[in-house]
Amino acid sequence: MARPLRIVSWNVNGLRACARKGFGDWLARDRAWLVGVQEVRALPEQLPDEIARPRGWHTHFVAAEKKGYSGVGFFARQAPDEVQTSLGIPSLDREGRLVIARFGRLVVANGYFPKGSGTARDNSRVPYKLRFYRAVFDRLATLRRGGRRVLVMGDLNTAHREIDLARPKGNRENSGFLDVERRELDRWLAAGWVDTFRRFEPGPGHYSWWSQMPGMRERNVGWRIDYILASAAAMRFVRSAFITPDVRGSDHCPVGVSVDAGILGASS
């Protein structure tokens, strides 16, 4: 029987900074088959060679037009059959928030979903955030109808339920826990997407992001805003899901799933 594939997502909060804190060592020892990273905040040519092109990995990075902002990428043990980086909507594409890679019948969409808060700490970017959510939803619906087994990974920048953040009452008016944002996640799940972590772990206290204010991570005052969602066709191959809060290097920690290798091409 083929060994399960470990698929991991991590908002690295600046890949160059994370590299200085041990990203390369973590990548070498994690045993992942695919790692999607968000908030790269660098052009590919600005990354050190050992991170941009590590031995034994196929890599692809998508940068925002604005330097030092946003950006996504992936590291894969297998060369993808196809890579797409555009939604065909310039206002959404210019921020470098999405890369979609196909491996046989498996499609992995790695996204850095926008925050809804603006520079004035208001909720002015919520409409933009929801446009991105809906555009990604529509693109992936086409792939699902085409028989692909789809995983969506990334920083979704939304805590879905009260159980998904330590202080829900104090954050009801803040982007990341607004009713309108949470309803958008409701819409995804109603359409058949599965929150893989919650399929295996119903309990509280599991978070993937902590404020950088002193003591917040140590006291586990966090939010679960990083997800791997699975289409029904992909979920049949998912065997476990995990969050690894002990991994440092960013204000987020890696999250992931273990899937049967048959997800790449075995008949359903």
Q: What is this structure's pTM?
A: 0.97
Average pLDDT over residues 180-191: 98
pLDDT band at 267 (very low <50, low <70, confident <90, very high): very low
155 a catalytic residue = yes
Give residue 7's pLDDT: 98
User: Over 70: is that where the pLDDT of 140 sits?
Assistant: yes
pLDDT of 29-52, one tens digit each?
Answer: 999 999 999 999 999 999 999 999
Tell me the average pLDDT of the chain.
96
What is the predicted pLDDT for the residue at 20? 97
pLDDT of residue 2: 79
Local confidence band at 155 (pLDDT 50, 70, 90 cut-offs)? very high
| Confidence grade of residue 1 (pLDDT, cut at 50, 70, 90) | low
Domain locations in the chain as residue ranges: 5-264
Which are the contacts of 194, defined by CB distance < 8 A and separation ≥ 6? 229, 230, 231, 232, 235, 238
Statement: residue 120 has pLDDT above 90? no
| 5-264 is a CATH 3.60.10.10 domain | yes
Contact predicate 23/249, CB 8 Å: yes
Mean local confidence (pLDDT), 182-207: 98
CA–chain centroid gap for 234, Å, is 16
Helix, coil or strand: residue 194: strand
Give the whole-angstrom CA distance, residue 60 versus residue 197.
Answer: 26
State the pLDDT at residue 268: 41
Q: Which residue out of 81, 138, 155, 226 is catalytically annotated?
A: 155
Q: pLDDT tens digits for 58-101?
A: 999 999 999 999 999 999 999 999 999 999 999 999 999 999 99
> Which pLDDT does position 119 carry in this prediction?
80
